[in-house]
Structure 1
């Protein structure tokens, strides 16, 4: 057998190896050991494969995120002047939401809401020959942003002073001027939204004015907010310290009304004849006269000091009788003694 490139010796060695392979077969244990080794290597390769796939997938995702960030930044730049109905207008609104999420502080967030509401009116002025739905949607977005900003501003104003209220009132006046300027260019289908937005600005201006007048009162708000935030109280305005003083002092009772009494009739008193006191009969003491007339008082008889005494007993003189005039007309007097 002649094979090109092979010598007779090579062919003989191959023939002998084939014969040897056919007569010698490995034992069962050897075949099982070889099979386990092969399966173990295949399992190791299978475990290594997912890690490689995850690494490749992570690289692909990182590249995709970088591409999205690059396109997003470019999209924000391109969508800066987009209007409702444009392709990039959604990117512009998403950028505003991102700015609001990265803003910290209630005052700063309130200013952002009012700024975005002002942007809606600027877009409304830039719209030309657009559909009525675009005008209505823009006015609805304006009302949403203005309501949120006003609610935060009024709550901050009653807590920290009237600076926010002055700013809010000035902003509402400026937006009302913008809204009046674009009225002639609005289509007929969006007039309901226009009147709703104008009424909202009037309510915001009135709310700011009323809260400003209540800042020096003890009770500024009702304590129950609405969609515009703090609601001004309508009770009587009292200074901040007056309620505390009034609560600490109990109310004084009112004096009774004066009772009109008729004039007492004049009484004629007949004075007894004056007698010269003697040593045997001392004169009695006369009580001082008061401003009001008193009924006559009859002194009981007083025994003379030289009268004979009864043996064994001592009698004391009875107390003088008193007479009290009537306190109210028509009632009898009171006598004691």
Structure 2
């Protein structure tokens, strides 16, 4: 056949390619075999994915269950006491609260709050094991010392309001500790006594620092478990703080008006005091006129008119310009 723009050679090549494609085409059995292999591979690859999906769903459900149980455990452990099953959950929640507290002041308040919780637990223990009393009082001392050290540091660097809060807290904890005294076993009285002494030291430390807030030196360079130790010296600055060990020089006091010298005349170098012999007394019939200084003329002010009169100018006569006319006089 004749095809426009195609030569006979081109048509032969095209026909040969068609025959080659038909010869290499797989038959129906080969296509079915390849299809089965592909579907089998897909089914084999889908099994791990399904397992992973099921495992992820189980893990998500487990995590949700743990979160729900932990939240419920925190609620139920709020009243847990040392030795209870949920007491560890309660202490773990307190550690989380302390880690989430923002700022040194908030952390110090949390320490004092946890120390107060230990005394509440001590009062609710009742007839319990000795180890519970020992551990509770030890935890109270540790939390109270940590909070006191942080609050005293902040108070000495600021306005000192934290010391008032610390003293009020220590007084309240002394009342709690005294109320729990009857239930404390005799074997734990040593720890109880040391806890009472610690509260007394905290109150005394707060009072001492409050009394030295306006001093030159509030604390020393030494520290203990309650923080910086207060200075015991004088409130005044030491003498070695001034140059060459001299005391501070007092501020000069301006002279009073009575000590000022009499104003002198600027035009004379030294004032001349008239002698008593050169003074002429006024006549007895007349009174001396009052001494009144004349007006002082400023450099830019207008001069005042004088009272002296000047002689009139001489008369100038001009002869008449035309005969018969009178002369003209100027002056």
TM-score range, shorter chain: 0.5 to 0.7
Structure-2 residue corresponding to 1:116: 114
Matched, 1:250 2:240: no
Q: State TM-score, norm by structure 1.
A: 0.57
Structure-2 residue corresponding to 1:300: none
Partner secondary structure for residue 221 of structure 2: coil
Distance 1:125 1:251, change over 3 A: closer
Alpha-carbon separation, structure 2, partners of 1:158 and 1:252:
29
Matched, 1:104 2:102: yes
Q: State TM-score, norm by structure 2.
A: 0.58
Deviations 1:30-66 (A, max 9, x none): xxxx99x96x988776665544443333222211111
Structure-2 residue corresponding to 1:166: 164
Distance 1:159 1:45, change over 3 A: farther
Gaps of 5+ in 2: 1-32, 248-331
Structure-2 residue corresponding to 1:79: 77
Structure-2 residue corresponding to 1:318: none
- Residues 212-231 of structure 1 correspond to what in structure 2 (within 5 A)? 212-231=210-229
Alpha-carbon separation, structure 1, partners of 2:221 and 2:40:
74
Structure 1 residue 134 displacement after superposition:
0.9
Q: Which runs of 4+ in 1 moved over 6 A?
A: 40-46
Alpha-carbon separation, structure 1, partners of 2:240 and 2:188:
55
Structure-2 residue corresponding to 1:186: 184
Which is worse superposed, 63-72 or 224-233?
224-233
Alpha-carbon separation, structure 2, partners of 1:180 and 1:78:
28
Alpha-carbon separation, structure 2, partners of 1:196 and 1:45:
73
- Residues 1-337 of structure 1 correspond to what in structure 2 (within 5 A)? 49-238=47-236, 242=237, 247-251=241-245
Q: How many residues align?
A: 216
Structure-1 residue corresponding to 2:285: none
Gaps of 5+ in 1: 1-33, 254-337
Question: Do the aligned residues in 1 keep the contact of 2:74 with 2:89 (CA within 8 Å)?
Answer: yes
Alpha-carbon separation, structure 2, partners of 1:90 and 1:252:
63
Partner secondary structure for residue 218 of structure 2: coil
Question: Do the aligned residues in 1 keep the contact of 2:240 with 2:246 (CA within 8 Å)?
Answer: no
Alpha-carbon separation, structure 1, partners of 2:240 and 2:158:
26
Partner secondary structure for residue 79 of structure 2: coil
Distance 1:210 1:45, change over 3 A: farther
Alpha-carbon separation, structure 1, partners of 2:222 and 2:40:
72
Distance 1:47 1:154, change over 3 A: farther
